[in-house]
Amino acid sequence: MSRRVLTALPVFNEDRHIPDVLPEVIRYSDDVLVVDDGSRDGTPNVLRTFPQVHSIRHERNQGYGAALRTAFAYAVEQNYDALVTIDCDGQHEPGLIPTLVDRLFANDGGPKAIDLVSGSRYLKPFPRDSAPPADRRRINLRITALLNECLGLQLTDSFCGFKAYRVSSLSAFDVTELGYAMPLQHWVQAVAAGLEIAEFPVPLVYLEEERSFGGSLDDAERRMRYYLEVLGRELCEHHLPLPAEVRELAPCC
């Protein structure tokens, strides 16, 4: 059975990486979408050299979550069967795109069809793995533990952007958190909608340890507080119990 698969890359000021990453993505995905989230570098010019790639540009930078929201809407509007999201910084391996899609549809016809396959950089080791920056690993560990505690999940990596979605399940997501905390909203909404989730091992590659989140989020403690606030707000929205460390940041409950 032939399925229509779209691979989407959210990009912001990625003119250095696009010439290396995009040809590899095109090798493994017939349909590719780049969402340019208001880049101020040469990204628009570089994208013009790839006429076979669909491109949507936000005129101003809105955030990582906003770029994914645009990708979700495009996949639904164009009637794709599956959407793969992959970052454009060279830290994900495009060669795994078909494998993620195969995993997404592996249980079709069985009692638990999978709605979402999420890459995990910590599910198993790979020969070329690299060590993540200490503050990022610490925050990922804590947030992942909280999500597992609150939502009954068994995640090992809550922030990996390499994912495959069944497009028919994208209606479960109402992306209003437009920044880097969008994955917190994403996991709560996925569980609230009863989506079937699977993790898939992917290599752990950090090419730019100094890569910025932007502004105050470069401070690890402020970033952690931001994540907790978003998590608390989303749990409140879905009337789910809050762990003690986010309760004081979610006065709505």
The answer as to whether 234 is a domain residue is: no
The answer as to whether 10 is a domain residue is: yes
Here the CATH number for the domain that contains residue 116 is 3.90.550.10
By residue range, what is the domain housing residue 118?
5-212
Identify whether the C-beta of residue 57 lies closer than 8 Å to the C-beta of residue 44.
yes
Give me the tens of pLDDT residue by residue for the chain, a chain 253 residues long.
Answer: 689 999 999 999 999 999 999 999 999 999 999 999 999 999 999 999 999 999 999 999 999 999 999 999 999 999 999 999 999 987 889 999 999 999 999 988 777 899 999 999 988 887 776 777 788 889 999 999 999 999 999 999 999 999 999 999 999 999 999 998 999 999 999 999 999 999 999 988 765 544 444 544 568 888 898 999 999 999 999 988 887 777 766 555 5
The answer as to whether 221 is a domain residue is: no
Identify the DSSP state of 132: P
Q: Which residues pair with 163 in a beta bridge?
A: 85, 118
Whole-model pTM over 0.85: yes
136 in the Ramachandran plot: left (φ > 0), alpha (ψ -120 to 50) or beta?
alpha
Counting every residue written for the chain, the total comes to: 253
Number of domains in the chain: 1
Identify whether the C-beta of residue 13 lies closer than 8 Å to the C-beta of residue 41.
yes
The answer as to whether 236 is a domain residue is: no
The answer as to whether 51 is a domain residue is: yes
Predicted confidence at residue 1, as pLDDT, reads: 61
The answer as to whether 218 is a domain residue is: no
The answer as to whether 190 is a domain residue is: yes
**Residue at token pair 């996991």:** 187
Long-range contacts of 228-231 (CB under 8 A, 24+ apart): 229/181, 230/177, 230/181, 230/184, 230/185, 231/143, 231/146, 231/147, 231/150, 231/181, 231/184, 231/188
The answer as to whether 246 is a domain residue is: no
Neighbours of 109 (CB within 10 A): 7
| Cα separation values, 133 from 44, 73, 126, 158, Å | 30, 33, 18, 16
